[in-house]
Amino acid sequence: MQPTKELKIEHEAVIKVLQILDTISQRITEGKDISINDLETLLEVMKVFVDRCHHGKEEKILFEAMESVGIPKEGGPVGVMLYEHDNGRRYIGGMREAFEKFKYGDKEALNEFAANASGYTTLMYAHIDKENNILYPMAETYLSETAKIKLVQDFSMIQAQETGDGMYEKYFNLVEQLKANYL
């Protein structure tokens, strides 16, 4: 059983989100119109699906399990991932703040949105690469089969808790809709 397989599938959706953000940032730079509804949807996907659900699974379940088998939280790969999650939250907060300004008429705020989006995508592309190629293989190596089974069960609990009943699939569908509009 590979619990990190589920996280990698989520990473594929996150990469689509990053590609959409890159396209939106480019459109902003070119002075093209941006759908306020699409920005709001994208912010919801990043806040709920990416941060609370995906990062929640990592922070509350995976990283704790890794620490329990001797992989240190501080000064190691888990610490780096936590630091990057926090940086990602700052970028999302910056995008949210810029979006609110834009929503209330400040057209210049879109440039702030684009700057935060660019920082976020740069961070997250590298972050996903480190998780997929360093952290997750470590987890698969060091965690017992029993621990891996528990991870999968606990992932389902976090998923239901953070996205709501039946909403997990909704976020994948929202990403696909945005992809159809922008990629």
Give the single-character DSSP code of 45.
I
Task: Say yes or no to pLDDT of 139 above 80.
Answer: yes
pLDDT at 1: 62
Q: Tens of pLDDT along 104-114?
A: 999 899 999 99
pLDDT in tens, 44-54: 999 999 999 99
Alpha-carbon separation of residue 23 from 29, 49, 86, 165, 179 (angstroms): 10, 20, 24, 31, 10
Q: State which amino acid sits at residue 136.
A: Y
- Supply the pTM of this predicted model: 0.95
Task: Please provide the DSSP assignment of 57-121 as one string.
Answer: HIIIIIHHHHHHTT--SSSSHHHHHHHHHHHHHHHHHHHHHHHHHHHTT-TTHHHHHHHHHHHHH
- Domain map (residue ranges) of the chain: 3-182
Q: What is the DSSP string of 92-106?
A: HHHHHHHHHHHHTT-
Q: Which of residues 86 and 168 earns the better pLDDT score?
A: 86
Q: pLDDT-based confidence at 157, cuts 50/70/90?
A: very high
Write down the CATH superfamily of domain 3-182. nmb1532 protein domain like (1.20.120.520)
pLDDT tens for 15-43 read 999 999 999 999 999 999 999 999 999 99
